[in-house]
Amino acid sequence: MQCGMNLQREGDSWQVLPRDFPTNNGGMCRKGWTSATLLEHPERLTKPLLREKNTDDFRAVSWEEALDFVANRWRQIQSAKGRDRVGIFGSGALTNEKAYALGKFARVALATSNIDYNGRFCMASGAAGGNRAFGVDRGLPFPMSDIARADAVFLFGSNVAETMPPIVQWFEKLRENGGKLLVSDPRATPTVQNADFHLQVTPGSDIALALGMLFVAIEEDLLDREFIQSRTEGFERVAKTAMNYWPARVEKLTGIDEIQLRETTRLLARGNSMFLTARGTEQHANGSDTVSAIINLALALGKVGKPLNGYGCLTGQGNGQGGREHGQKADQLPGYRKIDDPADRAYIAKIWGIEERDLPQKGRSGYEMLDAIGAPDGICSLWVVGSNLAVSTPRAGHIQNRLRELELLVVSDFFLSETAQLAHVVFPTAQWAEEEGTMTNLEGRVIKRNRAKTPPEGVLTDAQTMHELAKRLGCGEKFPTQPRDLFDELRLATQGATADYSGVSYEKVERENGVFWPCNAEKSPDGTPRMFLEKFAHPSGRARFFDVDFWGLPEEPDADFPFYFTTGRVMGHYQSGTQTRRVTELQAATPEVFVEIHPDAARELNIENGARVRVSSRRGEAIGAAKITEEIRADTLFMPFHWGGKSCANLLTIPALDPTSKMPEFKVCAAKIERLETIETVAETII
Ligand SMILES: Nc1nc2c(c(=O)[nH]1)N[C@H]1C(S)=C(S)[C@@H](COP(=O)(O)OP(=O)(O)OC[C@H]3O[C@@H](n4cnc5c(=O)[nH]c(N)nc54)[C@H](O)[C@@H]3O)O[C@H]1N2
Ligand SMILES: Nc1nc2c(c(=O)[nH]1)N[C@H]1C(S)=C(S)[C@@H](COP(=O)(O)OP(=O)(O)OC[C@H]3O[C@@H](n4cnc5c(=O)[nH]c(N)nc54)[C@H](O)[C@@H]3O)O[C@H]1N2
Ligand SMILES: [Mo]
């Protein structure tokens, strides 16, 4: 969310204090409160590490040795086997400046087409749906505070009470003002506890739910025909498809009965309504189509492109928004420019001082790049900057094996993550409070993070590491180390593009508590807090309906694997857990992985609360503690993905990719669960 906070030195430790900032209004979750713990954590990496040949041991080496080693190996691999054989994996944790520099590093310093990033696992389907309908993808097209003034907000597959606690204040205000909150989730999460309607859908079925609501809207004449006529195109085909989703069929597919379907559709049609999606609806092999079905519904009801209405994707990581705009993605150049657009290529090549023909074309998407390691044209070396792939990719056991096959795995991190443990070279990296830079939050608000302290001795920032490597590859002068210099270049690179930052400056950001893109000195000097009020970004200015249908799941439960297995987050841990498993308070609150199971299912399988259980799918198995709860559907198991080792939920997940966004199916596969007879302890996986 990019909560505003101050960092203050007190005695010999750092204290975090929440700030009255537009995003969090003085609120903060426990991860924010405890975040300073990691700055001076005893396990921080402070020296580059080099793996001893054919052993599991690392040797601390000088920066010179580590950088020379990596640059030489890259040169050898590329000249022997081809430029594309070296790849990069970036992150939505990186500042805009670093995300921009990393995309440039891949295309200019390495001249490889293979760069992708963890946003592919995060919001890529939300982005695809937004692009299809509106011609642009910005998480929310309005400031978060607008939520409080709507009449109804539908959260599709999001558990904000645990994943974005400070945003909850806007939902509370919504309800205080008489507005209604609707949530679809197979679980009665803490978010659901404070909602007016819980649609406890069968995992993977939101698309059928949205199509069913469109059926009801058509049948009960709840459509905004004037809006459909004047501001959209393509309704007829979509309406025809929706006629196949009559309530009785939808109930079979989703578990939502006709009364609730009709009641909630009427409610959304009535006043100002917002439709928000998050990972529960997006992380599916049909995530883009699911988002399209939801946007189709919003468009048909005329709830887009007007104040206090709209569709939004609740972007996850700190820089989940900015990280997806500036060229870390395989098909993308800065500012959402396209790598296959001749004009965009020519523009960026000029700024980067290279020939357009030397700018690589589109590379493989994240999972595809990792899966192809070992293939004749797959990458032989990977540099991971800001991701813990060994824990967070689908079918993680398979990907761990792929990573082990690399000739050279390089990881930049501040801790020895599970992925860094597999590396040949590890570069120690500065943390958030040790370098300045901008981040763009889910509202499209560019904000600035200041530097509060210097990094520990011997630690470089990612930008410095990039500069040193580029120098060894013959183009150090193209990679400034100062974020300000990188930002000036980014402004130029995005000028006139969809995500236009050319009118944003560090000073403006600080003065105004953030600036919403697009911000162009001539066209939109004040930034753009609210989008689409007059027109959408397609050439016609109209929003597009996109015809989608429900084809079923990549893997359905059956006799061998009878449960839906879904995954997600808990309040106290973050992502692959590299950071939060090292914070004493957070680790104490949720010390080990658990598997949620309904009492009826648990009884049948003779599993009691807290028992050691093994969950397995066709791809692998994991061990955890059973958590028996009424809050989950009886046909579904839920496991958070914050742990590695034997407790890694992703050992089970299925890498079925969305054909449009290439987002993997993290949210549903078929699994079974059994009680372990011998007492096996849950693997302690920190190091
Ligand atoms: N504490 C904490 N906060 C975080 C993070 C974290 O790791 N920890 N990560 C950040 C990041 S990167 C992201 S992307 C966001 C994610 O934020 P959310 O999307 O809110 O998080 P998830 O827990 O992945 O998924 C939300 C819900 O989807 C439900 N779900 C599963 N399958 C389905 C389905 O088929 N349909 C529907 N409707 N719901 C389903 C799950 O039960 C879960 O409650 O959180 C951000 N905030
Ligand atoms: N089963 C399942 N799997 C999932 C998901 C799910 O819901 N279910 N969600 C997916 C989603 S939405 C996401 S976003 C991914 C996230 O998964 P990952 O990409 O693995 O994200 P993190 O765990 O945050 O890992 C970031 C790593 O980079 C380091 N790091 C942080 N900041 C920086 C920096 O500035 N520079 C460098 N060099 N390193 C840094 C951290 O220490 C950490 O080791 O997981 C995905 N995987
Ligand atoms: Mo994410």
Q: What integer pLDDT is reported at residue 55 of this predicted model?
A: 86
- Average pLDDT score over the chain: 96
Last residue of a domain, one of 451, 478, 505: 478
Over 50: is that where the pLDDT of 685 sits? no
Q: What integer pLDDT is reported at residue 687 of this predicted model?
A: 27
Ligand 2 center to residue 411 CA distance, Å? 13
Q: Which amino acid is at 478?
A: K
Question: What sign does the dihedral 530-499-128-159 (CA atoms) show?
Answer: negative
Q: Is residue 421 part of a domain?
A: yes
155 exposed, middle or buried (CB, 10 Å; 0-12, 13-18, 19+)?
buried
Averaged over 594-621, what is the pLDDT? 97
* Per-residue DSSP letter, 181: E
Ligand 2 center to residue 296 CA distance, Å? 31
State the Cα–Cα distance between residues 558 and 320, nearest whole angstrom: 36
Q: Is residue 587 part of a domain?
A: yes
Helix (H) or strand (E) segment spanning residue 589:
helix 584-589
Over 80: is that where the pLDDT of 277 sits? yes
Name the token pair of 166: 């400070």
Residues with Cβ within 8 Å of residue 210, at least 6 apart in sequence: 156, 290, 293, 294, 296, 297
Best CA proximity match to 397, nearest among 564, 573, 592, 645: 645
Q: Are residues 573 and 667 in the same domain?
A: yes
The ligand placed nearest to the CA atom of residue 415 is 2
Question: What sign does the dihedral 662-664-665-670 (CA atoms) show?
Answer: positive
Contact 433, 38 (CB under 8 A): no
**Cβ neighbour number for residue 86 with a 10 Å cutoff:** 26
Q: Are residues 361 and 474 in the same domain?
A: yes
Last residue of a domain, one of 478, 499, 524: 478
CA atoms within 13 A on the CB side of 63: 17
> Is the CB of 156 inside a 6 Å radius of any atom of ligand 1?
yes
Top mutation candidate among 155, 158, 277, 556 for ligand 1, by most atoms within 8 Å of CB: 158
State the Cα–Cα distance between residues 364 and 86, nearest whole angstrom: 12
Q: Are residues 466 and 579 in the same domain?
A: no
> Is the CB of 483 inside a 6 Å radius of any atom of ligand 2?
no
Q: What integer pLDDT is reported at residue 256 of this predicted model?
A: 98
The edge-to-edge listing of strands for the beta sheet with 58-60 is 58-60, 49-51, 425-428, 408-413, 381-385, 86-90, 115-117
Q: Are residues 578 and 470 in the same domain?
A: no
> Is the CB of 203 inside a 6 Å radius of any atom of ligand 1?
yes
Q: How many domains does the chain have?
A: 2
Helix (H) or strand (E) segment spanning residue 516:
strand 515-516
What pLDDT band is residue 677 in, cutting at 50, 70 and 90? confident
> Is the CB of 385 inside a 6 Å radius of any atom of ligand 2?
yes
Best CA proximity match to 19, nearest among 30, 2, 35, 6: 6
Over 90: is that where the pLDDT of 416 sits? yes
Name the token pair of 404: 């082990």
Pairing mode of beta strands 543-544, 621-628:
unpaired
> Is the CB of 122 inside a 6 Å radius of any atom of ligand 2?
yes
Q: What integer pLDDT is reported at residue 157 of this predicted model?
A: 98
Q: Is residue 416 part of a domain?
A: yes
The ligand placed nearest to the CA atom of residue 432 is 2
**Residue having the nearest C-alpha atom to atom 45 of ligand 2:** 392
> Is the CB of 163 inside a 6 Å radius of any atom of ligand 2?
no
Top mutation candidate among 556, 569, 580, 587 for ligand 1, by most atoms within 8 Å of CB: 569
Q: What integer pLDDT is reported at residue 281 of this predicted model?
A: 98
The ligand placed nearest to the CA atom of residue 284 is 1
Averaged over 449-469, what is the pLDDT? 97
Alpha-carbon separation of residue 289 from 267, 295, 387 (angstroms): 24, 10, 27
Residues linked to residue 333 through DSSP beta bridges, in sequence order: 337
Residue positions counted in the chain:
687
State the Cα–Cα distance between residues 70 and 110, nearest whole angstrom: 12
> Is the CB of 417 inside a 6 Å radius of any atom of ligand 2?
yes
Best CA proximity match to 343, nearest among 489, 497, 488: 497
Q: Is residue 235 part of a domain?
A: no
**Helices (H) and strands (E) in the chain — how many of each?**
23, 29
Over 80: is that where the pLDDT of 112 sits? yes
Q: Is residue 252 part of a domain?
A: no
Q: What integer pLDDT is reported at residue 1 of this predicted model?
A: 87
Ligand 1 center to residue 122 CA distance, Å? 10
Averaged over 113-119, what is the pLDDT? 98
Q: Is residue 570 part of a domain?
A: yes
Last residue of a domain, one of 478, 507, 537: 478
Residues linked to residue 612 through DSSP beta bridges, in sequence order: 625
**Residue having the nearest C-alpha atom to atom 20 of ligand 2:** 388
> For residue range 172-228, what is the model confidence (pLDDT) as tens digits?
999 999 999 999 999 999 999 999 999 999 999 999 999 999 999 999 999 999 999
Name the token pair of 160: 């904000």
**Residue having the nearest C-alpha atom to atom 18 of ligand 1:** 158
CA-93 nearest atom, ligand 2: 32
Contact 412, 399 (CB under 8 A): no
* CATH code assigned at 73: 3.40.50.740
Helices 342-352 and 483-494: angle between axes, nearest 10 degrees:
150
Backbone angles phi, psi at 250, to 5 degrees: -65, -35
> Is the CB of 198 inside a 6 Å radius of any atom of ligand 1?
no
> Is the CB of 315 inside a 6 Å radius of any atom of ligand 1?
no
Q: Is residue 472 part of a domain?
A: yes
pTM score of the predicted model? 0.97
> Is the CB of 201 inside a 6 Å radius of any atom of ligand 1?
yes
Q: Is residue 334 part of a domain?
A: no
Q: Are residues 582 and 468 in the same domain?
A: no
* CATH code assigned at 642: 2.40.40.20
CA-204 nearest atom, ligand 1: 35
Q: What integer pLDDT is reported at residue 619 of this predicted model?
A: 97
> For residue range 551-590, what is the model confidence (pLDDT) as tens digits?
999 999 999 999 999 999 999 999 999 999 999 999 999 9
Name the token pair of 591: 């010390």
> For residue range 510-538, what is the model confidence (pLDDT) as tens digits?
999 999 999 999 999 999 999 999 999 99
Ligand 1 center to residue 159 CA distance, Å? 6
> Is the CB of 187 inside a 6 Å radius of any atom of ligand 1?
yes
Backbone angles phi, psi at 284, to 5 degrees: -135, 160
Question: What sign does the dihedral 296-301-306-312 (CA atoms) show?
Answer: negative
Backbone angles phi, psi at 615, to 5 degrees: -110, 140
Name the token pair of 90: 């970036």
Structural domain containing residue 46:
34-98+106-121+355-478
Ligand 2 center to residue 316 CA distance, Å? 10
**Cβ neighbour number for residue 679 with a 10 Å cutoff:** 7
Question: In this prediction, what percent of the chain has a pLDDT beyond 90?
Answer: 97
